[in-house]
């Protein structure tokens, strides 16, 4: 399933079921379900530049809990 941000990608592109999960569980599941992406764990409140990378999943966390749905490209 391709995402609207990275239409040519293959494999799972979003993990809504990980919202509220522990970061270690989320990272392991993403790595298992789409080993082609890099995983970037970012603490909520961190300053980041808006950019789309079709080989990356940003996992936003607060105190070790996923706070946003991880999506390839965002």
Q: Which residue has the higher pLDDT, 1 or 60?
A: 60
3-state secondary structure labels for all residues of the chain:
CCCCCCCCCCCCCECHHHCCCEHHHHHHHHHHHCCCCEEEEEECCCCCCCCCEEEEEEEEEECCEECCCCEEEC
- Residue 45 belongs to domain with CATH number: 3.30.10.10
- Would residue 55 count as lying in a domain? yes
pLDDT digits (tens, 9 = 90+) for 2-22: 456 676 666 899 999 999 999
How much is the average pLDDT of 69-73?
A: 94
- Would residue 3 count as lying in a domain? no
**Total of domains in the chain:** 1
Q: State the residue range of the domain holding 30.
A: 16-73
Q: Which residue has the higher pLDDT, 36 or 27?
A: 27
């Amino acid at each position: 399933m391709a995402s609207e941000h990275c239409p040519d990608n293959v494999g799972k592109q979003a993990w809504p079921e990980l919202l509220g999960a522990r970061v270690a569980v989320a990272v392991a599941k993403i790595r298992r379900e789409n080993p082609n992406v890099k995983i970037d764990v970012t603490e909520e409140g961190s300053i980041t530049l808006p950019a789309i990378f079709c080989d990356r999943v940003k996992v936003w966390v607060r105190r070790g809990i996923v706070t946003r749905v991880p999506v390839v490209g965002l």
